Amino acid sequence: MPGRLDGKVAIVTGGGSGFGKAISAKFVAEGAKVLIAEMHPESGVAVAKELGCESIQADVTKRDHWQKVLQKSIELYGGPDVVVNNAGTCYSSKPSHEVTDEEYDLTMLVNYKSIYLSVAEIVPWMKENKKGGSFINIASSGAIRPKPNLTWYCGSKAAVNAASRSLAQEYATNNIRFNSVCPQFADTGLSHRFLGKPNTPENRAYFMSLIPLGRMTDVTDVANGCCYLASEEANYVTGTELIIDGGRCA
Ligand SMILES: NC(=O)c1ccc[n+]([C@@H]2O[C@H](COP(=O)([O-])OP(=O)(O)OC[C@H]3O[C@@H](n4cnc5c(N)ncnc54)[C@H](O)[C@@H]3O)[C@@H](O)[C@H]2O)c1
Residue 60 maps to a domain: yes
Q: Average model confidence (pLDDT) for the chain?
A: 97
Residue 130 maps to a domain: yes
Residue 202 has pLDDT above 90, yes or no: yes
Q: What pLDDT was estimated at residue 223?
A: 98
Residue 100 maps to a domain: yes
Residue 235 CA to residue 228 CA, distance in Å, equals: 10
Atom of ligand 1 nearest to the CA of 219: 16
Question: Confidence band (pLDDT; 50, 70, 90) for 4?
Answer: very high
Q: How far is the CA of 7 from the centre of ligand 1 (A)?
A: 27
- Residue 77: active-site member: no
Residue 226 makes CB contacts below 8 A (sequence gap 6+) with: 23, 26, 27, 84, 136, 181
Residue 250 maps to a domain: no
Instruction: Starting at the earlier edge strand, list the strands of the sheet with 133-138.
Output: 54-57, 33-38, 9-13, 82-85, 133-138, 176-183, 241-244
- Does the beta carbon of 243 sit less than 6 angstroms from any atom of ligand 1? no
Q: What is the domain-level CATH number for residue 68? A: 3.40.50.720
Nearest-CA residue for ligand 1 atom 23 is: 14
What mean pLDDT do residues 175-203 have?
Answer: 96
Atom of ligand 1 nearest to the CA of 16: 39
Residue 218 CA to residue 249 CA, distance in Å, equals: 17
Residue 57 maps to a domain: yes
Residue 110 has pLDDT above 90, yes or no: yes
Question: Confidence band (pLDDT; 50, 70, 90) for 207?
Answer: confident
- Is there a contact between 154 and 173 (Cβ–Cβ < 8 Å)? no
Q: What pLDDT was estimated at residue 20?
A: 98
Question: Confidence band (pLDDT; 50, 70, 90) for 1?
Answer: confident
Residue 4 maps to a domain: no
- Does the beta carbon of 180 sit less than 6 angstroms from any atom of ligand 1? no
Condensed to tens digits (0 to 9), the pLDDT of residues 46-96 reads 999 999 999 999 999 999 999 999 999 999 999 999 999 999 999 999 999
Range of the structural domain that residue 227 is part of: 9-244
- Is there a contact between 145 and 249 (Cβ–Cβ < 8 Å)? yes
- Does the beta carbon of 112 sit less than 6 angstroms from any atom of ligand 1? no
Residue 202 CA to residue 245 CA, distance in Å, equals: 20
- Does the beta carbon of 87 sit less than 6 angstroms from any atom of ligand 1? yes
- Is there a contact between 105 and 149 (Cβ–Cβ < 8 Å)? no
Question: Confidence band (pLDDT; 50, 70, 90) for 11?
Answer: very high
Catalytic pick among 91, 112, 153, 171: 153
Q: What pLDDT was estimated at residue 237?
A: 98
Backbone angles phi, psi at 208, to 5 degrees: -65, -35
Residue 239 maps to a domain: yes
Q: What pLDDT was estimated at residue 206?
A: 87
As a whole number of Å, the CA-based R_g of the chain is: 17
Sign of CA dihedral 197, 202, 205, 208: positive
Residue 14 CA to residue 57 CA, distance in Å, equals: 10
Q: What pLDDT was estimated at residue 124?
A: 98
- Is there a contact between 98 and 148 (Cβ–Cβ < 8 Å)? no
Atom of ligand 1 nearest to the CA of 139: 7
- Is there a contact between 130 and 82 (Cβ–Cβ < 8 Å)? no
Question: Confidence band (pLDDT; 50, 70, 90) for 120?
Answer: very high
- Does the beta carbon of 16 sit less than 6 angstroms from any atom of ligand 1? yes
What mean pLDDT do residues 121-138 have?
Answer: 97
Condensed to tens digits (0 to 9), the pLDDT of residues 16-54 reads 999 999 999 999 999 999 999 999 999 999 999 999 999
Residue 108 CA to residue 152 CA, distance in Å, equals: 8
In the Cβ-directed half-sphere of 75, how many Cα atoms lie within 13 Å?
9
State which of 45, 89, 215 you would mutate to test the pocket of ligand 1, scoring each by most atoms of that ligand within 8 A of its C-beta: 89
- Does the beta carbon of 221 sit less than 6 angstroms from any atom of ligand 1? no
**Range list of β-strands (E), 48-155:** 54-57, 82-85, 133-138
- Does the beta carbon of 133 sit less than 6 angstroms from any atom of ligand 1? no
Q: How far is the CA of 2 from the centre of ligand 1 (A)?
A: 30
Total tally of structural domains belonging to the chain: 1
Atom of ligand 1 nearest to the CA of 44: 39
Residue 123 has pLDDT above 90, yes or no: yes
Residue 88 maps to a domain: yes
Nearest-CA residue for ligand 1 atom 1 is: 186
Condensed to tens digits (0 to 9), the pLDDT of residues 132-171 reads 999 999 999 999 999 999 999 999 999 999 999 999 999 9
Q: What pLDDT was estimated at residue 35?
A: 98
